[in-house]
Structure 1
């Protein structure tokens, strides 16, 4: 069973590698400057949101907001 799992996962990895290679070797015009700007802004915004959410997660964990309620 473990061998079958490894074979399936390796197949999925090979398929992902093939699709990534195929996507990078597409014929056509290169990405315009506006595309690079949009890509950079999108990646930066995603990183900013991720950092903000992780900050809130650590803040709420250290302040005790994640503890279950205690009823009297």
Structure 2
């Protein structure tokens, strides 16, 4: 296994600090809005939004998977080395 360089170590520390600051901010916002009440329509909207977001995300991932397996993406790959000519 390769050791981390100084640049990679600095990047890792910066990303961990950003993650910690984001988590602290999220907890503080969550606690500050603890008295807000969400009605039935809000819960329905949250549920439908979550469901359709997952549905679209899974559908796009499935399309990407099947597209890469069928070979349609091979023509659009600019980094592909040219192979022997097909007959």
TM-score (norm 1): 0.77
| Aligned-partner Cα distance in 2 for 1:9–1:29 | 32
| Aligned-partner Cα distance in 2 for 1:58–1:14 | 34
Deviations 1:36-68 (A, max 9, x none): 111110010010001111111111112111111
Partner of 1:7: 13
The structure whose residues are more often helix, as a share, is 1
Q: Which has the larger radius of gyration?
A: 2
Verify: 1:59 aligned to 2:66, yes or no.
yes
Verify: 1:22 aligned to 2:21, yes or no.
no
The change in CA–CA distance for 1:56 and 1:4 in structure 2 (over 3 A counts) is: closer
Residue segments in structure 2 that go unaligned for 5+ positions in a row: 1-5, 77-84
| Aligned-partner Cα distance in 1 for 2:62–2:16 | 35
Q: How large is the Cα RMSD of the aligned pairs?
A: 2.4
TM-score (norm 2): 0.66
Residue segments in structure 1 that go unaligned for 5+ positions in a row: none
